[in-house]
A and B are shown apart, each in its own frame.
Chain A
């Protein structure tokens, strides 16, 4: 699975959780950009992504997740191992 495919899936998950249009989401999108992206949303997003890709983020990795791009890269790294 390449970077673009992962991005599409992550963006789709995020748009469903925060109920926004896909066009509002790009790689640099973070919680600062979207009002509805609060800590509860963030947890739902993390859990949904973990379930979708069958991975688990470590605590350290969760700390490093600042935006969609970080999440995509992290998923990519985990899937390539």
Chain B
């Protein structure tokens, strides 16, 4: 049965009425309430003539209404773009405009005001009335986009990554092929809704009659307590969350015995972290997922056995059921194909398709930008082709940040990621510059143009920007200057 038909059935069937849909410390919601709310959204869509193929932006917090809105969109075939205060609105607005967002659904007054001033038709969720309709399954083309997510993976404006209903269907199918998901289970929802790990949480949960446990950003470091209280069975997070939780856990083991399966995604997983997690969630399996947003959440997996005595980084592993992996022999770049791979970016960007998609053996592959080695049928991560790093789990291109500074301040800058949490994942960045009296303006540019999740912990004045004999920026030397 198709993913979207399953969602409709689960929301509206008698068996599910009183089952828990959303679990929070202050309030729980059942499937019946979700069904009614989704019905209200469907009625609202009709009232404002929103239909299949239309695009809306959604100010996304982890509220009951927002999860219901996403599902209502999925049922109706309306494409949603999650946006939030953590993103830098100025940077994403051009892309929103270019994809003809028909409506922006807002929660907070300042977001509403900003988007209205920018010319978007806005609707504040507080005005939604209770008039509801039955939630019915409609056949909708698999080529319609179910959602679009922003990625900051290139210079210039952020790109929109559109994922079709087919892509998402195939991803869930891949995961269910890998793990036998038990119905009526409980799922963590830790990632921000603007990060596609959340797509895994939401759709895997509700397709399997599960209960979702959203954990807000400021609660994430104590998320093991949520897992404990709500008996979470399926956990999905970035590995670095484990690192931050270790302090809070104070060496306690088997803290969340209810977890049956953990998925790690978003950054490299070290064997050390896997060992630590296996002590905390000792009854469960650990699956390392790998993959860019462009290939619908994840494209490869490595299932860890119980022997965690190795060192270094856990392998990327093997292709998921609906993906294909291969290595470009020219530069060892990992290429990802199959039915989860998107067909191209939307929004303002200067990259043409041949820069990131290529045809091999009659099929389309996405260039991951990761260097990989195939050993004993397992793909292993060996580094990045460009200067893309992760800051607190968010993918960012260092050159993009430098470009923002240069464009606004007209000088040379080097941005150096510092305080490495995990391999390729850093806590913050340092900015190196050479012109005196710029510091206040640097702070202004950072405040106005950098994504909110980028933390700038040092701004260092140098006599000159370090360059090598070819005149290129010497990033190694720059790093030494910061330390």
| B-binding residues in A (CB < 8 A) | 39-40, 42-44, 46-47, 58-60, 62-63
Chain B residues near A59 (CB-CB < 8 A):
25, 219, 222, 225-226, 229
Report the separation of the CA atoms of residues A62 and B216 in the bound assembly, to the nearest whole angstrom.
Answer: 12
Q: Evaluate contact between A40 and B225: CB separation under 8 angstroms.
A: no
0/1 interface trace, chain B 201-223, chain A, CB 8 Å (1 if under): 00000000000000001111110
Q: Evaluate contact between A43 and B25: CB separation under 8 angstroms.
A: no
Q: Min CB distance, B243 to chain A, in Å?
A: 11
Q: Evaluate contact between A40 and B229: CB separation under 8 angstroms.
A: no
Q: Evaluate contact between A62 and B219: CB separation under 8 angstroms.
A: yes
Within 8 A of A (CB), among B24-59: 25-26
Q: Evaluate contact between B221 and A43: CB separation under 8 angstroms.
A: yes
Name B25's contact: one of A40, A44, A63 (CB within 8 Å): A63
**Which secondary structure dominates where chain B touches chain A?**
helix
Name B217's contact: one of A39, A58, A60, A62 (CB within 8 Å): A39
Q: Min CB distance, B232 to chain A, in Å?
A: 13
- Listed from nearest, the 4 A-B pairs whose CB atoms lie closest are A59-B25, A43-B221, A60-B25, A39-B218
Chain A residues near B229 (CB-CB < 8 A):
59
Q: Evaluate contact between B26 and A47: CB separation under 8 angstroms.
A: no
0/1 interface trace, chain B 228-255, chain A, CB 8 Å (1 if under): 0100000000000000100110100000
Q: Evaluate contact between A40 and B221: CB separation under 8 angstroms.
A: yes
Q: Evaluate contact between A43 and B248: CB separation under 8 angstroms.
A: yes
0/1 interface trace, chain B 403-439, chain A, CB 8 Å (1 if under): 0000000000000000000000000000000000000
Q: Evaluate contact between A58 and B221: CB separation under 8 angstroms.
A: no
Chain A residues near B222 (CB-CB < 8 A):
43, 46, 59, 62
Report the separation of the CA atoms of residues A47 and B252 in the bound assembly, to the nearest whole angstrom.
Answer: 14
Chain B residues near A46 (CB-CB < 8 A):
222
**Which secondary structure dominates where chain A touches chain B?**
helix
Q: Evaluate contact between A42 and B248: CB separation under 8 angstroms.
A: no
Report the separation of the CA atoms of residues A63 and B218 in the bound assembly, to the nearest whole angstrom.
Answer: 9
Q: Evaluate contact between B220 and A39: CB separation under 8 angstroms.
A: yes
Q: Evaluate contact between A39 and B221: CB separation under 8 angstroms.
A: yes
Report the separation of the CA atoms of residues A59 and B28 in the bound assembly, to the nearest whole angstrom.
Answer: 13
Q: Evaluate contact between B26 and A43: CB separation under 8 angstroms.
A: no
Report the separation of the CA atoms of residues A59 and B220 in the bound assembly, to the nearest whole angstrom.
Answer: 12
Chain A residues near B25 (CB-CB < 8 A):
58-60, 62-63
Q: Min CB distance, B411 to chain A, in Å?
A: 26
Q: Min CB distance, B283 to chain A, in Å?
A: 22
Report the separation of the CA atoms of residues A58 and B226 in the bound assembly, to the nearest whole angstrom.
Answer: 10
Report the separation of the CA atoms of residues A46 and B244 in the bound assembly, to the nearest whole angstrom.
Answer: 14
Q: Evaluate contact between B218 and A42: CB separation under 8 angstroms.
A: yes
Q: Evaluate contact between B26 and A40: CB separation under 8 angstroms.
A: no
Q: Min CB distance, A78 to chain B, in Å?
A: 16
Also in contact, A43 and B217, with CB within 8 A (given A59-B225, A63-B25): no
Q: Min CB distance, B61 to chain A, in Å?
A: 14
Q: Min CB distance, A64 to chain B, in Å?
A: 9
Report the separation of the CA atoms of residues A42 and B26 in the bound assembly, to the nearest whole angstrom.
Answer: 20
Q: Min CB distance, A60 to chain B, in Å?
A: 4
Q: Evaluate contact between B248 and A47: CB separation under 8 angstroms.
A: yes
Report the separation of the CA atoms of residues A42 and B248 in the bound assembly, to the nearest whole angstrom.
Answer: 11
Closest B-chain residue to A51, C-beta based?
Answer: B250
Given contacts A39-B221, A43-B247, 12 further A-B contacts (CB under 8 A): A39-B218, A40-B244, A43-B221, A47-B250, A59-B219, A59-B225, A59-B226, A59-B229, A62-B219, A62-B225, A63-B25, A63-B219
Q: Evaluate contact between B247 and A44: CB separation under 8 angstroms.
A: yes
25 sampled A-B residue pairs with Cβ under 8 A: A39-B217, A39-B218, A39-B220, A39-B221, A40-B244, A42-B218, A42-B221, A43-B221, A43-B244, A43-B248, A46-B222, A47-B248, A47-B250, A59-B25, A59-B219, A59-B225, A59-B226, A60-B25, A60-B26, A62-B25, A62-B219, A62-B222, A62-B225, A63-B25, A63-B26
Closest B-chain residue to A47, C-beta based?
Answer: B248
Name B247's contact: one of A47, A58, A62 (CB within 8 Å): A47
Q: Min CB distance, A14 to chain B, in Å?
A: 16
Q: Min CB distance, B298 to chain A, in Å?
A: 26
